[in-house]
Amino acid sequence: AQSVTQLGSHVSVSEGALVLLRCNYSSSVPPYLFWYVQYPNQGLQLLLKYTSAATLVKGINGFEAEFKKSETSFHLTKPSAHMSDAAEYFCAVLKSSGDKLTFGTGTRLAVRP
């Protein structure tokens, strides 16, 4: 069974600092990988997705993630945090197009002024 692990349930950064949210997956085959963001009292929105075309994936709002097969990781980064980035972020894995998404437990990002 595939799974996804997000290290750190809470991350706090200063405005303008680097954002790094960690995600590791376990899968016997190269999976499809996603990052979603959830703002308060809203549903999840897709930030970016990896579907084996390129290992560095750029998403919305300046976020990007790099697929590293050797490390089974798909960490999310943003060079400079904004106050508006404060939200909960979920990593998700899909083994194949006919499979179901498996979500990590989420990382809540706080941005300090």
Bridge partner residues of 10 (DSSP): 108
- Name the residue nearer to another protein (CB basis): 2 or 17: 2
What gap in Å lies between CA 16 and CA 81, rounded to an integer? 5
Q: Which stretch binds another protein (CB under 8 A): 19-27, 41-49, 61-69, 74-82?
A: 41-49
Kindly indicate which of the ranges 22-30, 34-42, 62-70, 72-80 contains the residues binding another protein, using the contact rule CB under 8 A: 34-42
Choose the stretch contacting another protein; rule: CB under 8 A; options: 19-27, 56-64, 73-81, 91-99.
91-99
Tokens of residue 79, six digits: 């060079």
Q: Is 76 in the site for another protein (CB under 8 A)?
A: no
* Cα 19 from chain centroid (whole Å): 11
| 19 neighbors 81 (Cβ within 8 angstroms) | yes
Give the pairing type, strands 107-112 and 10-14.
Answer: parallel
Q: Which residues bind another protein (CB under 8 A)?
A: 9, 32, 34, 41-46, 49, 90, 94, 96-101, 103-106
